[in-house]
Amino acid sequence: MRSSLPTTRETDSMANKTEDLALDRAQVKKAVQALQAFLKTKSTPDSKLLADTQHVCLLFTLWKVPKLAQSIRIPLPHGQRTDTDEICLFTRDEPNMTSDQTQRFYKKLLEERGVKNVTEIIPFKVLKTEYKPHEAKRRLLGNYDLFLSDDRIRRLLPSHLGKHFYERKKEPLCVNLQSKQLSRDVQSVIQGSYLKVTNKGSCCMARIAHSGMTADEITDNIEAAVKTVLTKLRTKGPVVKIIHIKSEATAALPIYTSDLSHLTLLEDAQRGAKARKVKRAANKVKETETAPMNAEETAPMNAEDEDEIPQLVPIESPSKKPKREANGQMTQKSKKSYGKKAGKPLAQNRKRKMPKAK
């Protein structure tokens, strides 16, 4: 009879169907408007004068901790950075050029390709020499909002930047400076976002907007980010538990909460696994019961064989004789060994008793 419990393949397909997460746009927009209203009440006259904006982030809470770490690139329909953001670019050292010549070379290249957002260019040699002290690295970290790097030197940067860049999540984003569509690639990296999924916890956060954007623009970015994250996550089945929207200094507002329907699927899968284990254990018990019966049938034959046991006779090893040379005389080494075996030194064996004179 076919078991009524679902197989693992069926549960995976059912889980994937339930993971088609659909956000309620009206509810998301209400949450965005509430967040913007709260930020306006907390703003000071100085921040209004300076047009200071705060980051708007998406906080994902997963059902379980991922097995592998992952970095997801999120393209956004509306740029999340303002024109006042300071952007720094790390480039490689061009051969047969000084640091100043390399800096002018890449500055001219960006102008020709239409890239206008980069405010500072730092060659790799300058980074190694001028920003080697700890205080210089801290100053560099605070002077810029975003860091880009040539993809040809990305493996060399971590040892020269230090841990503070990665603790504050300001590690450089890679850009292919040899691309034919450099302006589009740089713009997508600057205005896009990244989500770092770690294997050390079940929460991860990505910046998707700023408080100066309209509610519709922030809502569009939220929908695009959620769709991208769900398609690029490497885990199977239902993954996202709760999604919050928050800023740097506000509480998190939930915009999506997963239902518990997938828990029944997991329970069914566990029941199926238990049923398979019980069946395997029953098969093992049957095999162990049949094994003694076979041993009893073969017992008389084994008894007859045990009566006739051949006796082993020790074989004497041949005695070693001293080696002789080609002329038939023993070597000096063999004489010494032969004398030792006799129990007396060879010199004593050579002595003969001379008759006494009368």
pTM: 0.62
CA distance 265 to 237: 10
Split at pLDDT 50, 70, 90, the class of 163 is: confident
Give the pLDDT score at 283.
83
- % of the chain beyond a pLDDT of 70: 69
Give the pLDDT score at 41.
85
- % of the chain beyond a pLDDT of 90: 24
**What is the mean pLDDT of the segment spanning 145-151?**
90
CA distance 272 to 239: 22
**What is the mean pLDDT of the segment spanning 184-195?**
88
CA distance 256 to 34: 16
The single residue listed with the structure tokens 């100085």 is 46
Q: In sequence order, which residues have a C-beta less than 8 Å from that of residue 156 and are 6 or more positions away?
A: 124
Q: In sequence order, which residues have a C-beta less than 8 Å from that of residue 126 and are 6 or more positions away?
A: 99, 103
Give the pLDDT score at 243.
92
Helix (H, G, I), strand (E, B) or coil at 158: helix
Report the amino acid identity of residue 87. Answer: I
| Cα 97–Cα 103–Cα 105 angle in degrees, nearest 5 | 70
CA distance 271 to 256: 30
